[in-house]
Structure 1
Amino acid sequence: MKKKIIAIAAVLGIAAAAIFICRRIEPKQDEPPLVLNEYQREAYLNIRGWEIEEISCQTVRIPEEFEGIYREYADIQSKDGFKLENYKGKEVLRCLYRVLNYGGDSEVTAELLLYNDELISAALIENKQDGFIKPLNSLFKDS
């Protein structure tokens, strides 16, 4: 009987530890937004291992409705924790950087979208027909 009680207590202890660990691993829903100035944007990309060269930063408007490639892009960003739906119709700063050390034959661009200097999207984009769009933060977490 004592062995059975000890076994049950051990299983409950392991289950409690697993629940505790899983709760700590879950992404925080209320994390403060990441605010980046011009120099911090470059550092953000450098910290993730990318050697970059700025191409341009310009104001663009997020579409009111997401269709086609923009729907796909918004879905990819959503999986990375960015909610572009919150910025429909708003003007944002779009900063593009040539990634110098990606490798391969295609040119790859890092794209950051910012609203009032708050990072709302980050992606690597392969500049060719049927090229990839990869969420930048997930790439960093997986490495």
Structure 2
Amino acid sequence: MLIWTARVSKKKTAVITAVILVAVLAVVVLVGNQADPAVSGLPQLADNEARVSYLQSMGWEVDPEPVETLQFLLPEKLEEPYLTYNKLQDSQGFDLSTACGKQVSRFTYTVTNYPDRPEGVQLNLYICEEQPVAGDILCAGADGFQDTLVYPTEETD
């Protein structure tokens, strides 16, 4: 059995403690930057022009001005109907839980290029801190639907 002993002065202990604290602080700062919206890879949608361009990049053509704009505070914890709606969002890479307890804006646009539906289709885009957190396409009525923002492609046989 080998036993090591070392004498450590108060000065060395203070230096070692300071180095550990600096390392922990550096990790906290780096992790904090990972949550920064600019680092997340999501588009910054600060104005209507950016939102419309974003939707066009997904294949959607919309009237340039929203037909409705709504702001609301998302609850601290998701409950129904938000839980069901978030399942739709998960399927397209969004997650409403990242906006819990925050102010969210909903912009509703009229869609002009939905396949086989020349009118009556709307698109909702939910923005929190200038980033998209949710979105859906919907059509009201007897043969209505609600779907993701993924542009529908015609299937070939």
**TM-score surpassing 0.5?**
yes
1:92 and 1:66 mapped to 2: Cα distance? 16
Going from structure 1 to structure 2, the CA distance change for 1:134 and 1:55 (only over 3 Å counts) comes to same
Match of 1:55?
Answer: 67
1:41 and 1:72 mapped to 2: Cα distance? 25
Match of 1:12?
Answer: none
Q: What is the TM-score normalised by the length of structure 1? A: 0.64
Matches within 5 A, 1:27-106: 31-36=40-45, 37-53=47-63, 54-63=66-75, 64-68=77-81, 70-102=82-114, 103-104=116-117
Q: May I ask how many residue pairs the two structures share in their alignment? A: 111
Match of 1:107?
Answer: 120
1:79-99 deviation per Cα after TM superposition (whole angstroms, max 9, x unaligned): 211110122232111100011
Bigger CA radius of gyration: 2
Greater share of residues in helix: 1
Percent identity of paired positions between Structure 1 and Structure 2: 26
Q: Is the 8 A contact 1:60 1:93 kept in 2?
A: yes
Q: Is the 8 A contact 1:106 1:128 kept in 2?
A: no
Going from structure 1 to structure 2, the CA distance change for 1:89 and 1:132 (only over 3 Å counts) comes to farther
RMSD (Å), alpha carbons: 2.5
Is 1:120 the counterpart of 2:133 in the alignment?
A: yes
